[in-house]
Amino acid sequence: MSAEERRESVVRAAVIEFARNGYRGTSTEAIARRVGVSQPYLFRLFAGKQAIFTAAAERCIEETWRVFDEASTGLTGEEAAAAMSEAYMGLVEDSEQLMMQMQLYVSVFASRMAGEDEIGETARRLWGELFERVRERVGGDVEGTTEFFAYGMLINALVALGFPREHRIWDGFGDKAADGTADGTAGKTAERTAG
Amino acid sequence: MSAEERRESVVRAAVIEFARNGYRGTSTEAIARRVGVSQPYLFRLFAGKQAIFTAAAERCIEETWRVFDEASTGLTGEEAAAAMSEAYMGLVEDSEQLMMQMQLYVSVFASRMAGEDEIGETARRLWGELFERVRERVGGDVEGTTEFFAYGMLINALVALGFPREHRIWDGFGDKAADGTADGTAGKTAERTAG
DNA sequence: GGAGATAGTGATTGGTCACTAACTTTGCTC
DNA sequence: GAGCAAAGTTAGTGACCAATCACTATCTCC
């Protein structure tokens, strides 16, 4: 297998391990085991553990946009927003994607506290780009986009805490979360702008 | 100093250290140093590192309610919601409070992935209670409370990523975040229910 | 003043982990 | 099939860390 292909599989494995156990809680040994390669070999493919984490985080944000884009291609405004909301709700099943985001947030903060903000700069740039892309897709409404991301963050937290989707805590998300009765909206985006 | 007083100072120190560096990234040595006692003594006061983390997490959620309660005493409905939103925005300065929450979320997930859900059960109970208390305070509106928490989670993420409050990314939070022009609302709560 | 309880420390240990150095294997090209 | 580069491994190192053990100091009550 070429180094480039190996790097790809390392990133995929790293997303899973880092999402589940965080930066400090993940050993390079665990990543290597998942890839099926010896642990020292990771250091031939990446400059260090931090570089693997950064690559996993970038992948995760790119993948999030890919999900949004795929769900909303050809749509605009409220329709696009609803489609992306629904797509994000679908990620609740695939919790690695959501948790890798959370791990990125806390790791960026930790790095900044430690006096380094390199990963923070990267994360803010990527996150800002994601925000702008979503904003364009829904038609430029900043407040609506902010609300969209707000609900996304709450979903992350509820998934992390392990509230099952039947739990009452999900009741406030329209009726999409609890029983899948799609009314074409998710979050409160449609209601808000219709109000 | 009595053991009880020491435990209190350990919890306070632990919130800061865990908030900045996470569970795995925080050494008991670092907590002990901040408290001003020897590292082994922590294990006289608490059963283990996990017990310190749990105590810090509980404290953090209690403190969050305390902030909400203090800000909204005597108020109801939209006024209470606005006051609590404003109070939460004030915590942006005091990022340890917000980051300890985030660390709790990722740690709960990690514990569940590791097959233990003890801290998860505690966290869900406390978080659910916080949600219910806020809901009562704002008058029972589930959708509005959900929205309130959603914006709170987005604030956590933006703080973690280190977006300065002047950054455009905060523009979608009414006009409160950017320039402090208090219009009596925060997030979109007032607009939504008024719509 | 001594007995018991409470507060607190120094030394240590078994274990983990990121990372390195040196070596081997595999596949390609002429 | 020799030469070579890329892919991959085994063995090892220094640092760190949660938890334990055995010990000391201080206070209180009789």
Q: Nearest residue to D12, CA vs C1'?
A: A40
A148 near A84, Cβ under 8 Å?
A: yes
pLDDT along chain A (195 residues), means of 10: 95 98 98 97 98 98 97 96 96 94 98 96 98 97 97 98 96 62 41 38
DSSP B2: -
DSSP B48: S
Cβ distance of B109 and A95 shorter than 8 Å? yes
Q: How far is A174 from chain B (nearest CA, A)?
A: 8
For residue A94, the model assigns a pLDDT of 87
B160 in reach of chain A (CB within 8 A): yes
**B15 contacts in chain A (CB < 8 Å):** none
Considering Cα of A179, then A158, then B171, then A70, what sign does the dihedral take?
negative
For residue B94, the model assigns a pLDDT of 87
Q: How far is A113 from chain B (nearest CA, A)?
A: 6
B170 near B163, Cβ under 8 Å?
A: yes
Contacts of A145 (CB under 8 A, 6+ apart): A131, A134, A135, A138, B172
- Residue B36, nucleotide of least CA–C1' distance: C8
pTM over 0.85: yes
B171 in reach of chain A (CB within 8 A): yes
pLDDT along chain B (195 residues), means of 10: 95 98 98 98 98 98 97 95 96 94 98 96 98 97 97 98 96 62 41 38
DSSP A164: -
CB pairs under 8 A between A and B: 159
Q: For residue A93, how many other CB atoms are within 10 A of its CB?
A: 10
